[in-house]
Amino acid sequence: MQQLKNDRYLRALLKQPVDVTPVWMMRQAGRYLPEYKATRAEAGDFMSLCKNPELACEVTLQPLRRFPLDAAILFSDILTIPDAMGQGLYFETGEGPRFKKVIESASDVAKLPVPDPEDELKYVMDAVRTIRKGLNGDVPLIGFSGSPWTLATYMVEGGSSKAFTKIKKMAFADPNALHALLDKLADSVILYLNAQIAAGAQSVMIFDTWGGVLSPRDYKLFSLQYMHKIVDGLTRENEGRKVPVTLFTKNGGMWLESIAATGCDAVGLDWTIDIAEAKARIGDKVALQGNMDPSMLYAPPARIEEEVAIILDGFGEGSGHVFNLGHGIHLDVPPEHAGVFVDAVHRLSAPYHKA
């Protein structure tokens, strides 16, 4: 087993003692960094960057050269699985992801293959292997996937959506078709994440970006039960170490107890819930990740530090907190503000971890 020089991120997820609160940022490898923009230009476009293991490794490592982050996250996209199912992913300038094929019926679902992660998605596994080598044991590598519900929204809507009318029409008018799709996606995610773990990911995260558009009953029916199935199917130990699993539902504050009951190790929080409240509700069961509003990084450095202090105080003493933004870092945030954020978390959290 490769010894990690800094394993505080993994230790915090397992609620083991740490010296300071670990921190990383969703989308930490991304468009707010000029060096990322240069590498993406070299690749030609976003998917070409994802599918080039060397360049995917380069952009994964870029933020770690700038900031003392406690984890690296695989550079990829949540829509790799639908693309590998033959949906034809492409990106429209200013409009985000689109699919050439759209799922409209049970017969469309029946035709979808379950992708082989070491075949159709081998470029992702090659990226994981390349990044692990590049990290050289400095910090752990996080693998990830979209949740079945979130992937299904893009596959049925054909891209991003504001009202989610097509997928909700399927949910309520043809629920059997949607459940068949979600079940197939859950099977695909289990294979995909287990392959990432086998390739070297030391922790995995499931992003349920659109779970918060569902009613409480429908969230459990169409989103949570499939994430629970994935958690049950994951490899939880590799290389002689536990592989922690984090579930993140944006706007999921209503359902924290149900999310924690899946058997995951950590629950990701967006900024719409107070971390002290989240800790009171589920902090004895799981670790918490979050939860500063990404827009706070537009603020002056003193205000960023103040917000970090407020969130640290909200969580309080002891391990079990991974500091993060409540969602991805915005593309026009000054990189030096991200640096202020990371440094503030480490500096201000030390008193909360005195033995």
d(CA 50, CA 124): 8
- Which parts are annotated binding residues for substrate? 27-31, 77, 154, 209, 327
Q: pLDDT tens digit string along 231-268?
A: 999 999 999 999 999 999 999 999 999 999 999 999 99
**31 part of the active site:** yes
Residues 6+ apart with CB under 8 A from 300: none
Res 264: pLDDT: 98
Burial of residue 152, with CB atoms counted within 10 A of its CB: 0-12 exposed, 13-18 middle, 19 or more buried: buried
What is the rounded average pLDDT of the residues 199-207?
98
Domain assignment of residue 52, given as a range: 31-287
HEC secondary structure over 61-100: HHHHHHCCCCCEECCCCCCHHHHHHHHCEEEECCCEEEEC
Phi, psi of 313 (to 5 degrees): -65, -35
Q: Is 304 part of a structural domain of the chain? A: no
Residue type, 265: D
Q: Is 140 part of a structural domain of the chain? A: yes
Q: Is 190 part of a structural domain of the chain? A: yes
Cis peptide before 251 (omega within 30 of 0): no
**8 part of the active site:** no
What average pLDDT is seen over the chain? Answer: 97
Q: pLDDT tens digit string along 325-354?
A: 999 999 999 999 999 999 999 999 999 998
Q: What is the pTM of this model?
A: 0.97
What's 103's DSSP letter?
-
Q: What count of Cα atoms within 13 Å lies in the side-chain half-sphere of residue 235? A: 19
d(CA 220, CA 269): 17
Res 96: pLDDT: 85
Catalytic residue among 8, 9, 11, 27: 27
Q: pLDDT tens digit string along 38-95?
A: 999 999 999 999 999 999 999 999 999 999 999 999 999 999 999 999 999 998 777 7
Q: Is 293 part of a structural domain of the chain? A: no
What's 110's DSSP letter?
H
Burial of residue 136, with CB atoms counted within 10 A of its CB: 0-12 exposed, 13-18 middle, 19 or more buried: exposed
Q: Is 1 part of a structural domain of the chain? A: no
Length, in residues, of the chain: 355
- Which parts are annotated binding residues? 27-31, 77, 154, 209, 327
What is the rounded average pLDDT of the residues 110-130?
98
Sign of CA dihedral 30, 33, 39, 43: positive
Residue type, 216: P
Q: Is 352 part of a structural domain of the chain? A: no
Angle between helices 53-66 and 34-43 (to 10 degrees): 170
Q: Is 6 part of a structural domain of the chain? A: no
**Which pair of tokens denotes residue 61?**
């490592």
CA dihedral 114, 116, 117, 120 (to 10 degrees): -100
Catalytic residue among 32, 154, 219, 226: 154
Q: pLDDT tens digit string along 278-288?
A: 999 999 999 99
Share of the chain above pLDDT 70, in %: 99
Instruction: Tally the domains of the chain.
Output: 1
d(CA 147, CA 186): 8
d(CA 150, CA 121): 19
What are the start-end ranges of the E strands in the chain?
A: 72-73, 89-92, 96-99, 141-146, 203-208, 237-238, 241-242, 245-249, 266-268, 287-292, 321-325
Q: Is 187 part of a structural domain of the chain? A: yes
Res 1: pLDDT: 59
Res 299: pLDDT: 98
Catalytic residue among 8, 9, 32, 77: 77
**Cα-to-chain-centroid distance, residue 156:** 22
Res 355: pLDDT: 67
Three-class SS state of 269: coil
343 closest CA partner among 355, 335, 332: 335
Res 277: pLDDT: 98
216 and 254 Cβ atoms separated by less than 8 Å: yes
d(CA 252, CA 210): 9
Phi, psi of 167 (to 5 degrees): -70, -35
CATH at residue 39? 3.20.20.210
**98 part of the active site:** no
**65 part of the active site:** no
Catalytic residue among 19, 31, 108, 174: 31
**217 part of the active site:** no
Res 94: pLDDT: 73
Sign of CA dihedral 273, 276, 279, 282: negative
